Structure 1
């Protein structure tokens, strides 16, 4: 009975020859292929050298020298090699243990297809880097973590790497397997924007998480103060706590002082903080000590917390995902929201899909004659939506997007048109389309719809009056409270995820830190 491995199975094998003899060996294989039905294809890489970056300069070096890939049965290929043993040798797997049989090295079909596509279309553009892959995890100048992305389609589909700046060019830095088992090369691909990529959350140090650390600390204290009933005294009490901790950075001493002063509920709530929460606040205080007045300068509104936060502030009843907190002039609705993200662990080189619980904060207020509502152009105006017979009371639900929308409302003219609805730049002289414009239309379609579609129920409102202060908010006017809450929370959450996931709109992702306090 014939051996299936040797007579039936077709696999990709590697044949090695002397440098500059690849063409001769390939021709011999093609001639033999005409006589043998069990040699199906011979492939000699079109690009056998790579560009290597070393000490600021680039040079070419050999990569696939003397390498031919053959799709054949093992017997057909070994028969050929017996006739042409002087022209090449078969490459074998390295033995891992004593007594293990030697085996020819085999390249999986899927991997071979990807390699051929890559070698023929991308290899001449890739540069091999001298430093280890892990060195590119952080920006050398700012010490911030570089963004991690995954390529969606094309020959590099599934490849994960860092977006790094090389002079004026942003490149995708990733690893590829070397010819020897277990060996890797660190390479970079120029103009990363040519690739279709999605941003992954760096579980070990993400820019968005690092940028919200102080905001999360202030929000944690704000939520605790509001839940303890301080309401209009939230800001003065926040400043008092930071001043006390700056003078004496001890949470234990702070809780004791508060208890003696009669702030029993606040003292007890602070003692219930986790170690992670306590460390977050103490890190804020360290920064406040080095930069006196930082908290007062950056947090001077406490009417409604940012839209998405990692803490609820108030305790929710068991089995419930929503709670209400009364404020002067409006009611705050706090709802659990599960956000699923693709997370990458650089040290493990592992990717996971993780769902994290955040809390959406929106305000609710009834609309009566003379109050402000949302018109079809997204501006606030005196409302004529009164409680009518049989229609019920109209409500406005709103979310705090103050800083983000403030920056948006500052744009005007051509810059505004380009930011919101831009598609692609003008064609270049060679007739090729330039890269897509970094616009909301291209990379944040939900936000684009909110800003431009008159039928969108959610609208941006500038200077919306909340108690004694004003905020720029996303808002919806409705008589159906449940539907209104759901629509506003879903729309705002979708906008957050779209801006967070794209590698574009980097400026707006920074402003998003004031809306979504990402952990």
Structure 2
């Protein structure tokens, strides 16, 4: 907003006055601004005290003592304060060098608008924390990274922070910019369930916390064995190689042994593993060494690989994004799938987006009417099929429930942690009769049974059906992975999506 009278712009200025005199200054400006040019608006924070937590103690302390925000030109505001209130003055940013010119502290309109929304709606509900924001990146008890989320709507829209547990309740810990540039306060909103948030992928911590390292290692070796054409021998050879590697933690020694046994193709594939891939195998072998029988117990049968994996297993041609691998009872289709995720880098306190290439694995079998395509959701769906009655109804179709405030005794509505609310694609698969993709229990594959998501198609529509199954499964994975709700089902998702 250009000021044509004296060639300066309107800004929101931070005005300091005596603590406790904010309302008096606001009233003075409101009363006089109609007589003076270039002072347009004054804002005094409505909530000037906050809860401060020090350890287990909470105190209610002053927060905005002595601060008023005024939208004006600098000249007009300075003149008004000089003539009407000698105790008030415009705050100037601190000079960083002796030669630097002092500049009045101004606040962008967008920031003032967000601050007003926050102050009027949430300031009386947040608690100021004494520890630095970065201290809340990890769970103090488990040393695992805390979930990172972004608020989707409301006055806190766009805020990013950690979900932390305080006194058995989950709170959102985030940062609020203080009065001075570069000054930040760490605060928590105690009832994170009141907020509409999406979960962000922790680009630095989730690799450790997603819990798929051993699963990725096992899948890597299974994929290599299947890609080398071992077919029905894959499972027995998988056990043999892991036990041999556990006895001697050296891939080089294992490759030499395979060369002597005439397994040159397998030895060459293992020799080409990247450093990170080799580390995965060695770590799994080390765990097998310390816990004999772990591999056999956790991978008792190998039928179809998990739906999304970081490696293809077979070597795909450069110009193709899909390949087929024949099995005894079905044909496996392996397709490249690029998944873009919003991520957060705690050490930099920056967010961004990354795109990672995964490989979708689905099976194809012929039946009387054409083809059936299916994806391995065995462990996830096994747990789902164990739910029944009212519990199942609430999990799948629940909308809202009444919650009573322990202090005010007032009742409010809260979204239920259901597939309907937080995984709508899965909800449709499970409930809509006309959904092409179905959840099928105990799907028969040769002599084995598998819980799958499946789609049936005619010979003419098989390409469209294949695409639909893959896209549906990817959507379900992304919906469950991005919500901070459905935590149990996100854990089961680890067996479907070997996240990296």
Indicate the TM-score class for this superposition, using the shorter chain for normalisation. Answer: over 0.9
Distance 1:208 1:470, change over 3 A: farther
Equivalent in the alignment of 1:244: 244
Equivalent in the alignment of 2:372: 396
Equivalent of 2:442 in 441, 463, 468: 463
Equivalent in the alignment of 1:375: none
Shift of 1:98: 3.5
Cα deviation 1:379-413 (Å, max 9, x = unaligned): xxxxxx3xxxxxxxx01111100000100111111
Equivalent in the alignment of 2:91: 91
Equivalent in the alignment of 1:9: 9
Shift of 1:143: 1.5
1:420–1:440 CA contact under 8 A, matched in 2: yes
Provide the C-alpha distance between the structure 1 equivalents of 2:355 and 2:4, rounded to a whole number of angstroms.
47
| Paired residue secondary structure (2:341) | strand
Higher alpha-carbon deviation: 279-288 or 104-113:
279-288
Equivalent in the alignment of 1:408: 384
Equivalent in the alignment of 1:296: 296
Higher alpha-carbon deviation: 323-332 or 476-485:
476-485
Equivalent in the alignment of 1:222: 222
Provide the C-alpha distance between the structure 2 equivalents of 1:319 and 1:254, rounded to a whole number of angstroms.
32
Higher alpha-carbon deviation: 319-328 or 476-485:
476-485
Provide the C-alpha distance between the structure 1 equivalents of 2:134 and 2:208, rounded to a whole number of angstroms.
20
Provide the C-alpha distance between the structure 1 equivalents of 2:208 and 2:465, rounded to a whole number of angstroms.
29
Equivalent in the alignment of 2:428: 449
Provide the C-alpha distance between the structure 2 equivalents of 1:28 and 1:351, rounded to a whole number of angstroms.
43
Equivalent in the alignment of 2:467: 486
Provide the C-alpha distance between the structure 1 equivalents of 2:93 and 2:50, rounded to a whole number of angstroms.
25
Equivalent in the alignment of 1:497: 478
Cα deviation 1:107-145 (Å, max 9, x = unaligned): 111100111111111111111111111111111112111
| Paired residue secondary structure (2:434) | coil
Shift of 1:467: 2.5
Cα deviation 1:74-133 (Å, max 9, x = unaligned): 121011122135221110122233432222111111100111111111111111111111
Cα deviation 1:15-40 (Å, max 9, x = unaligned): 11111222222222223213113211
1:349-388 equivalences in 2 (<5 Å): 349-368=349-368, 385=369
Shift of 1:41: 1.3
Provide the C-alpha distance between the structure 2 equivalents of 1:8 and 1:276, rounded to a whole number of angstroms.
59
Distance 1:244 1:403, change over 3 A: same
Equivalent in the alignment of 1:421: 397
The number of residue pairs the alignment matches comes to 494
Provide the C-alpha distance between the structure 2 equivalents of 1:230 and 1:6, rounded to a whole number of angstroms.
83
Shift of 1:345: 0.9
1:144–1:207 CA contact under 8 A, matched in 2: no
Equivalent in the alignment of 2:100: 100
Equivalent of 1:514 in 485, 495, 498: 495
Shift of 1:517: 0.4
2:402–2:414 CA contact under 8 A, matched in 1: no
| Paired residue secondary structure (1:269) | helix
1:120-199 equivalences in 2 (<5 Å): 120-199=120-199
2:309–2:359 CA contact under 8 A, matched in 1: yes
Equivalent in the alignment of 1:382: none
1:150–1:200 CA contact under 8 A, matched in 2: yes
Shift of 1:427: 6.7
Shift of 1:261: 1.2
Equivalent in the alignment of 2:263: 263
1:344–1:350 CA contact under 8 A, matched in 2: yes
Shift of 1:3: 7.7
Shift of 1:434: 2.4
Distance 1:503 1:3, change over 3 A: closer
Provide the C-alpha distance between the structure 1 equivalents of 2:330 and 2:47, rounded to a whole number of angstroms.
67
Shift of 1:204: 0.1
Equivalent in the alignment of 1:60: 60
Provide the C-alpha distance between the structure 1 equivalents of 2:465 and 2:428, rounded to a whole number of angstroms.
17
| Paired residue secondary structure (1:140) | coil
Distance 1:428 1:54, change over 3 A: closer
Provide the C-alpha distance between the structure 2 equivalents of 1:225 and 1:207, rounded to a whole number of angstroms.
25
The TM-score, its normalising length taken from structure 2, stands at: 0.95
Shift of 1:461: 1.1
Cα deviation 1:150-179 (Å, max 9, x = unaligned): 111122111110001112110000111222
Distance 1:308 1:293, change over 3 A: same
Provide the C-alpha distance between the structure 2 equivalents of 1:3 and 1:193, rounded to a whole number of angstroms.
46
2:3–2:73 CA contact under 8 A, matched in 1: no
| Paired residue secondary structure (1:434) | strand
Shift of 1:510: 0.4
CA RMSD, aligned part only?
1.7
Equivalent in the alignment of 1:48: 48
2:145–2:209 CA contact under 8 A, matched in 1: no
1:208–1:510 CA contact under 8 A, matched in 2: no
Equivalent in the alignment of 2:115: 115
Cα deviation 1:498-519 (Å, max 9, x = unaligned): 1111111110000000000000
Gaps of 5+ in 1: 369-384, 386-393
Provide the C-alpha distance between the structure 1 equivalents of 2:199 and 2:44, rounded to a whole number of angstroms.
35
Higher alpha-carbon deviation: 19-28 or 352-361:
19-28
| Paired residue secondary structure (1:292) | coil
2:210–2:494 CA contact under 8 A, matched in 1: no
Equivalent in the alignment of 1:434: 413
